Amino acid sequence: MRAALVAVAYQSGFGHTAVLADSVVAGAVSAGATAVPVVVTDMSDSDWHTLDTADAIIFGSATYMGNVSSGFQAFAEQTGRRCISGAWRDKVGAGFTNSGAKSGDKMHTLISLAVFAAQHHMHWVNLGLGPGWNSSGGSEFDRNRLGFWLGAGAATDVDADPEAVHPADVATCRHLGARVAEVTAQLLAGRAVTSAA
């Protein structure tokens, strides 16, 4: 069985979401996938080929004005023909975002990413972690410290360097990458069985 190809397609204006994207990639690799980062604001023909041939695409965007950034949305709108033709149908999808505020309305960003995947007929994978930091025994260093289910949600001070991205958010994104790689491998194995039958 070949390794799953997981693309991590993201936008980052100031480098915070890029740190999380690196962790998503590392998580996918740790689970046996081949993982390739793609910066959606600087798409080459090779990048489009990566997305078109990937088994899974994990989308990431900084939260700007309570939604995906204009850079991410411009990329999304460039996929219109692929959407109509079903080019990405039945790929696995998932998402992550980063905002300045702890909430920052970034749930809306994750919803936008999930809707984008749904428009491409992709299979959305949730985060698969319970909420952290939600009891007297919890701490800000718990994975999923901000309590999302739909995808990975991170928060970074707006005046912080990328190195200051919270370690719990890095770990949460690593988990997401590994989870998507595992689910994708299961799907590939299932398809191999059903196509052989």
In single-letter form, the type of residue at position 113 comes to L
Cα–Cα distance measured from residue 100 to residue 104, given in angstroms and rounded to the nearest whole number? 7
Q: How far apart are CA 23 and CA 177, in angstroms?
A: 8
Interface residue with ligand FMN among 7, 17, 112, 153 (CB under 6 A) is: 17
Size of the site for ligand FMN (CB under 6 A): 19
Q: Should residue 98 be labelled a site residue for ligand FMN when binding is judged by CB under 6 A?
A: yes
**What's the min distance (Å) between Cβ of 122 and ligand FMN?**
23
Environment class of 8 (CB within 10 Å of its CB; exposed 0-12, middle 13-18, buried 19+): buried
**Binding pattern for the stretch 103-142 against ligand FMN, x by CB under 6 A and - elsewhere:** -xx-------------------------------------
For ligand FMN, which residue has the nearest CB? 104
Residues 60-89 interacting with ligand FMN (rule: CB under 6 A): 62-66
C-alpha distances out from residue 150 to 60, 95, 97, 143, 147, Å:
13, 8, 11, 14, 10
- Of the candidate spans 10-18, 39-47, 77-85, 124-132, the one that interacts with ligand FMN by CB under 6 A turns out to be 10-18
Q: Report the residue from 156, 168, 176, 179 that binds ligand FMN according to the rule CB under 6 A.
A: 156
Region of 65 please: left (phi>0), alpha (psi -120 to 50) or beta. Answer: left
Q: Which amino acid is at 144?
A: N
Which positions touch ligand FMN (CB under 6 A)? 12-17, 62-66, 98-101, 104-105, 156, 158
